[in-house]
Amino acid sequence: MGIPSKAASAVTAYELKDEINKIAEPYSLKVPGWELKNFLQPLINGQSKNNQGVDLSDLDSQIESVLKDKGINIIPRVRVRLERPPLLLVVSPRNKIEYFDRILLPPDLSLSQVESLENQLDGLNLSSLVVELGGIGAAYPALVSPDMTVRAVIDAAAEEWSHQDLAFRPLGYLYLLDSLGVSQNPDVITMNETLAGLMAGEIGKKVYEKYYKNLGEQQGTNAGRGFDFDQEMRLTRKNVDVFLAQGDITGAEQYMNERCLVFNGNGYYIRKLNQAYFAFHGIYGQDPGAVSPIYDAMQKLRAKYPALSKFVEEASKLTSYEDLQRAIANH
């Protein structure tokens, strides 16, 4: 079934994505119906507590209060529901790390279904991975997983609202077009995700401090002491890039399998470490699996504005990495 591995490089990107869609179709989320159901479902019937039993039913108004404090226009209104978001299928070529394609999947797929889908796509000489999302703003209300700490839920809710807000601005609009497959630009994806992440970090921090500072929530993981996840993941990404630059795909994949065991052995569970893993994590500038200079550049631009609202106003106008560099130089 599908395109033999030797022929994969000879077909066009459009033909390859069409083949991916054919394989993923039996598993994929029926987006229009899902969007409508999500919009019409009464909020009062939704879950109000996270997995630790903390009541977050006032999360919408709490985020809006902080947005007002920071002088940010609330467009659209903050609407969040605690519910497991869809899964995301990410596809990358094997010979390079690239966010080539992504497809939403239902959140209740079994592990056997996930692995079957990934195996079929890998048979096209591709690297694939189904990832769990902490939240998704492509729905309204936004969905945020309750299976996280309070701070993580707040940050995810703030980030998904940030994506919705940015969709009304030039940078976010281009990201929306990319999501629809109309106009694709890797820098736009990373810039938009990085900006939303910076917004969420500041907003989420203030919400947590304002409403949950006495919660006494325990942060961190069960990871072993002395193992620096961020440092080790950056090293892993760097070495994978070296393997791939030398054309040694097999060596890169063997190395990633070995490193996956190391992370798991130190308390950081990673189901599958491959090119698609880095393609997904690489779009988030602050992620240790990313190599883009965009995060550092965005931070430099942020430092030039005392107010978050002014930073967002200016950064959301940018539509290319070159725009970002000029904004830093000219401010």
- In the three-class reduction of DSSP (H, G, I as helix; E, B as strand; rest coil), residue 53 is classed as coil
What CA–CA distance (Å, rounded) separates 14 from 18?
6
Res 331: pLDDT: 82
Closest C-alpha to 231, from 278, 288, 272? 288
Res 218: pLDDT: 59
Q: For the chain, what are the domain ranges?
A: 5-211, 229-330
**Letter for the amino acid at 67?**
L
In order, the DSSP letters of 165-215 are HHTTSHHHHHHHHHHTTSS--HHHHHHHHHHHHHHHHHHHHHHHHHHSTTS
Res 52: pLDDT: 86
Res 180: pLDDT: 77
Q: Write out the chain's pLDDT in tens, 331 residues.
A: 344 444 445 579 889 999 999 999 999 998 878 777 777 775 445 678 888 888 898 999 999 999 999 999 999 999 999 999 999 999 999 999 999 999 999 999 999 999 999 999 999 999 999 999 999 998 899 999 999 999 999 999 999 999 999 999 999 999 988 887 777 789 999 999 999 999 999 999 999 999 998 887 655 555 557 899 999 999 999 999 999 999 999 999 999 999 999 999 999 999 999 999 999 999 999 999 999 999 999 999 999 999 999 999 999 999 999 999 999 999 8
Res 7: pLDDT: 42
CA distances from 45 to 48, 64, 108 (A): 9, 21, 20
| Total Cβ atoms within 10 A of residue 14 | 9
Supply the DSSP symbol for 6: G
Res 26: pLDDT: 96
Res 28: pLDDT: 94
Report the Cα 108 to chain-centroid distance in Å.
19
pTM for the model stands at: 0.90
What CA–CA distance (Å, rounded) separates 244 from 253?
9
Res 4: pLDDT: 42
Res 30: pLDDT: 86
- In the three-class reduction of DSSP (H, G, I as helix; E, B as strand; rest coil), residue 21 is classed as helix
- In the three-class reduction of DSSP (H, G, I as helix; E, B as strand; rest coil), residue 164 is classed as helix
Res 8: pLDDT: 44
In order, the DSSP letters of 290-302 are ---THHHHHHHHH
E-strand stretches of the chain: 80-82, 87-93, 101-105, 126-132, 135-136, 142-144
- In the three-class reduction of DSSP (H, G, I as helix; E, B as strand; rest coil), residue 131 is classed as strand
Closest C-alpha to 133, from 121, 141, 144? 144
What are the residues whose beta carbons fall under 8 Å from the beta carbon of 202, sequence distance 6 or more? 70, 308
CA distances from 103 to 31, 120, 121, 173 (A): 10, 15, 12, 19
Res 63: pLDDT: 97
Res 44: pLDDT: 44
What CA–CA distance (Å, rounded) separates 265 from 272?
14
What CA–CA distance (Å, rounded) separates 190 from 44?
35
Res 42: pLDDT: 52
